[in-house]
Amino acid sequence: MPTRKTSQALNILIGGEAGQGLVTIGELLSRSLVRSGYSIVVTQDYQSRIRGGHNTFAVRVSAGEIYAPQESVDLLIALNQETVRLHRDEVSPQGLMAADQEFDVPENRCLAVPYKDLSLPRYSNVAALGIAGFLLGLEEDLIARLLDDLFGKKDPNLAEQNRKVLSSAFRWSAGQKTSFQKLPKVSNPPKRLMLNANDAIALGALSAGVRFCAFYPMTPSTSISLSLAASAEKMGLIVEQAEDEIAAVNMAIGASFAGAPSMTATSGGGFALMVEGVSLAAMTETPVVIVVGQRPGPATGLPTRTEQADLEFVLHAGHGEFPKAIFAPANVEDGFYLTRKAFELAERYQGPVFILTDQFLSDSYRAVAPFDIGNLPQVHAGADPVSVNEPYKRYALTETGISPRLLPGRSRHLVMVDSDEHTEEGHITEDLSIRTRMVQKRQNKLNGLRGEVTPPVCEGDDRPDLLLVSWGSTMGSVLEAASKLREEMRRVATLHFSQVWPMAPDQFIGYLQEAREVVCVEGNATGQLARLIRRETGFEIKRKILRYDGLPITPEWILRELNRAS
């Protein structure tokens, strides 16, 4: 089995209050790093408030491939005193802190910055960007061009002021003596995109031909719909902010019924309101893609933090029995390609398909190669009226369970649908023999979905002493933890699920049985994937590493928990 190797990396942590502009400089720094040829993994930690509260923007960077965030800090950019207090002990022995000279800071490994001399207070974040850029060895001109891109169109004078502050920060930094090691230069930087998973999901939907999106804003899913809205006029789609999530899902179902490939995006609390719509899509056999961005619950919980606790909720959402598919992207690339597949399956199997992501992945920028869309199949809504048997029956009983779906008003055929149990023609019925056949017809589609499951990926040693099982956004941390363990000469493999339903046990049961020990790594309190695997295969994963404090799982967390459990 293939094994991925991880590279040496630096971890930069920018900390401050909401409203101090740390996200702006964090994104600019990240974009500068990507354009300079580096790989990044961004982790954003923010409180649920508009202004104030301690926030961080962490950028792990490397000239090679990296997959996960890191706990220890190599460069701490402190925009306020609280950042110093909270994160000074996280700075590595070779690391450095850059903080305002007016802060109470440790004497060692600290660069005291005279922000008042470098800029007006409103530009302090750009001065911090310049200091970080110099310390990392980035080109001033590259960062200046990004400032122009951001501010130039809005206000050329503002862009000029920012460039002056950037230059002041570079000049001041060049006069300081530090032992901080700059990043190694990358020759011939590849052209890559800087995207997070929400960006990729929006692009995947656009490439699949989405024509309608309805949503009600809810962290961490909102940026998916906003990205689609930004492209709506150019790409010919409609994005509607509904009055609530109930309206949003039903609008999406209605648009899909009329022939527009449709989606909605929400989080756990919003999805709770959408559940009746899920059943409606299943009974009317209407395609719809639903993105659920997980965050800690129940209720409002921790609305801006991360978790993986909605797997069972989404799996069982909707009353009655009907087939569905659930994807859980592991990274940005998965976000794009699995969204495309979600639209394909929703149209082919005529029902709800889910994308289950989380706050960590939604906000985590990565450097990714441009997507190859040349050979991807087109998603087409509805069947060709010429191909249907007459008289047309919307819910014709077939061996596959899939009936020809004509779009209303697009042919001479009458299209009848009903949320009650219905006949093949779509008329309401209480004939119980028909009821039985309709249930079987809908369930038959599950066989087809099982035949198209994206298989879990197994990497590492054959017949390992330790097999780490994961799903969704935890893959990167599991891969890096496994890599560390192999450096200790342990036989380790990983098994990762990017589709969590339906399952095809033949694809992975052998890996579980061959490993001496299996440990499941999940971002929830009860081990939901481990429980699902046991239900579907009978194989019990006895050891679990679970995190549910609102923070993403890191390689260090996994290694500590493994040592604690052994």
SS (H, E, C) 213-267: EEECCCCCCHHHHHHHHHCHHHHCCEEEECCCHHHHHHHHHHHHHCCCCEEEEEE
Residue showing tokens 């306020």: 80
Query: Which parts of the chain sit beneath pLDDT 70?
Result: 1, 5-7, 565-566
Identity of the amino acid at 99:
A
Residue showing tokens 């649920």: 48
Using CB atoms within 10 Å of the CB of residue 24, give its burial: 0 to 12 exposed, 13 to 18 middle, 19+ buried. middle
Q: How many CB atoms lie within 10 A of CB 148?
A: 15
- Give the integer Cα–Cα distance in Å for 39 and 90: 22
- Give the integer Cα–Cα distance in Å for 327 and 337: 11
Q: How many CB atoms lie within 10 A of CB 505?
A: 14
Identity of the amino acid at 368:
V
pLDDT of residue 566: 58
Per the DSSP assignment, residues forming a β-bridge with 58 are 13, 43
pLDDT of residue 324: 97
Residue 456 near residue 1, CB atoms below 8 Å: no
pLDDT of residue 100: 95
Q: What is the pTM of this model?
A: 0.96
Identity of the amino acid at 116:
K
Continuous segment of H or E residues that includes residue 507: none
pLDDT digits (tens, 9 = 90+) for 297-332: 999 999 999 999 999 999 999 999 999 999 999 999
pLDDT of residue 385: 93
pLDDT of residue 168: 97
The DSSP line for 11-48 is EEEEEEETTSSHHHHHHHHHHHHHHTT-EEEEEEE--S
Q: How many CB atoms lie within 10 A of CB 550?
A: 18
The DSSP line for 314-339 is HHH-SSS----EEE--SSHHHHHHHH
Q: How many CB atoms lie within 10 A of CB 408?
A: 15
Of 439, 261, 422, the C-alpha closest to 353 is 261
Task: Give the neighbor-by-neighbor strand order of the sheet with 110-113.
Answer: 110-113, 91-100, 73-78, 10-17, 54-62, 39-45, 366-368, 193-195
Peptide bond into 190 cis (omega under 30): no
pLDDT of residue 243: 97
**Both tokens of residue 539?**
């194989």
Identity of the amino acid at 406:
L
